[in-house]
Amino acid sequence: MANAKKKSVFFCSECGFESPKWLGQCPACHQWDTFAEAPVSKRMSGTVKGIFPGNTHSTPARLNEVKADEEERIVTGIGELDRVLGGGIVSGSLILVGGDPGIGKSTLLLQMCRILSENEHKILYVSGEESPKQIKMRAERLGDFSSNLYILCETDLVTVTEVITDMKPEIVIIDSIQTMYSEDAGQAPGSASQIREATGRFMKLAKNLPVSIFIVGHVTKEGVVAGPRLLEHMVDTVLYFEGDGVASYRFLRGVKNRFGSTNEIGVFEMRQNGLEEVLNPSGYMLQGKPENEPGSVVTCSIEGTRPILVEVQALVCQTNFNMPRRTAAGTDYNRVNLLMAVIEKRLGIRLGGYDAYINVAGGMRISEPALDLGIVAAIISSYQNQAFDSKTVCFGEIGLVGEVRAVNLSEQRVMEAAKLGFERCIMPRANFQKLNVSKNALNGMRLSGVSSIYELLEVI
């Protein structure tokens, strides 16, 4: 029994990679110095083995005999949240809500609790970060609360699980997973082994009771506490709350969902009295857009299933350095470099002596290739110091030889642009030829199909 001597195991606090010995660099995520030790005997509770109720003998069942009713869902009443969850909270699911500290995770969940508790759902909000008084102060900004919402300020994992088991609420919020502490798991609160231990226990509780559990996880820039990425594989649903620190927009993005489609986004605005849903994100994203200024181009991205118009800005100016500076905010830096190389080679525009700053306005991060045409148009517009028509939208993917390639869901993009009153839409020719949009929906908008970036130059 050589194994009996083995007392600890090591795993990466970034991605959860497990190893029998300490490693300087993680072979999975290539981060340095992220390995932490955890006692091996406690490991099992950190995994999801044996969590499914009524499955004690582990005998295989015939799939065609398994009964699967439509999942029961609790609709939260916050439309943008329901959309990202795939139509509401599935009973017995474990949901991770990640995001930077201060982005609004606690606020969003407390708002959800407010609506649900008013609809006669029994809810427990466990906070390891704030006192009941602090929670109350926040709650007062959000409105009146019903008596079905219970608050527990506690960080001890055993106590928290006992309270949940006794009380049997329908929904539990754990705010945050980094504050939960169990003596069994060794190490400090927030360490990788503590987080795994706590998540494993909540997973068991969620499936056994059943109760739906929301886990708040702070995204940490570096080190001391482990980040929520570590738990992504253990939970049913992963939502990230993002936005730039300055603007008041907040985007709730689904990156994993066992009960719905991923990549849906919900859009919110942080107000004085909590988060407000943004029902027309395109209009919202284009607020304050400059008219007829060089370097500003509107393009259309598809986020999940819905089209959103965004403004791409470029500033191209002569460099004072040996190496020109390039930055890309809100989009992929390497993609921008590639597009600049395509412009240089295919259009013969010498960008080598120019700095270029690209920004997707509004704090949204978009990596969809359909943005390419907008980025290229913005760069050229800024380089030539000529405004791009502010009533024109353009979208399309650009290939390495300067061809404009078709993108998916072009009808939705065109209709969104028409709905917001744009007068012209420049799009890939392949999409243009197959487009199936009624004259009515076009609302008088003209369409231009282009098949290369030379043609883009011709039509603008």
- Contact string 260-299 vs ligand TYD (x = CB under 6 A): ----------x-xxx-------------------------
Q: 255 vs 270, which CB is nearer to ligand TYD?
A: 270
Distance, CA of 456 to CA of 452 (rounded, Å): 7
Categorise residue 311: left if φ over 0, alpha if ψ from -120 to 50, beta otherwise.
beta
Q: 174 vs 336, which CB is nearer to Mg ion?
A: 174
In the DSSP assignment, the letter for residue 48 is -
Task: Report 78-107 residues binding Mg ion (CB under 5 A).
Answer: 106
Which of the ranges 71-79, 94-102, 189-197, 330-338 carries the binding residues for ligand TYD, by CB under 6 A?
A: 94-102
Of residues 160, 171, 163, 384, the one with CA closest to residue 294: 384
Q: Which does 102 bind (CB under 5 to 8 A by kind): Mg ion, ligand TYD, none?
A: ligand TYD
Q: Which does 16 bind (CB under 5 to 8 A by kind): ligand TYD, Mg ion, none?
A: none
Burial classification of residue 387, based on how many CB atoms lie within 10 Å of its CB (0-12 exposed, 13-18 middle, 19 or more buried): middle
Q: Which does 270 bind (CB under 5 to 8 A by kind): ligand TYD, Mg ion, none?
A: ligand TYD
Q: Which helix (H) or strand (E) holds 174?
A: strand 171-175
Among 20, 79, 101, 283, binds ligand TYD (CB under 6 A): 101
Which of the ranges 97-105, 178-186, 221-229, 353-361 carries the binding residues for ligand TYD, by CB under 6 A?
A: 97-105
Q: Which does 381 bind (CB under 5 to 8 A by kind): Mg ion, ligand TYD, none?
A: none
3-state secondary structure 182-227: CHHHCCCCCCHHHHHHHHHHHHHHHHHCCCEEEEEEECCCCCCCCC
3-state secondary structure 116-147: HHHCCCCEEEEECCCCHHHHHHHHHHHCCCCC
Distance, CA of 237 to CA of 45 (rounded, Å): 20
Residue linked to tokens 């539990």: 172
Q: 105 vs 413, which CB is nearer to Mg ion?
A: 105
- Using the rule CB under 6 A, is 115 a contact of ligand TYD? no
Measured in Å, how far apart are the chain's first and last C-alpha atoms? 76
Task: Report 106-165 residues binding Mg ion (CB under 5 A).
Answer: 106
Q: 66 vs 246, which CB is nearer to ligand TYD?
A: 246
The distance of Cα 214 from the centroid of its chain, to the nearest Å, equals 16
CB-CB contact of 225 with 128 (8 Å)? no
Please report how close the Cβ of residue 107 comes to ligand TYD at its closest, in angstroms. Answer: 3
Q: 46 vs 274, which CB is nearer to ligand TYD?
A: 274
Q: Which does 194 bind (CB under 5 to 8 A by kind): Mg ion, ligand TYD, none?
A: none
Which residues of the chain form contacts with ligand TYD (CB under 6 A)? 99, 101-107, 138, 141, 270, 272-274
Which residues of the chain form contacts with Mg ion (CB under 5 A)? 106
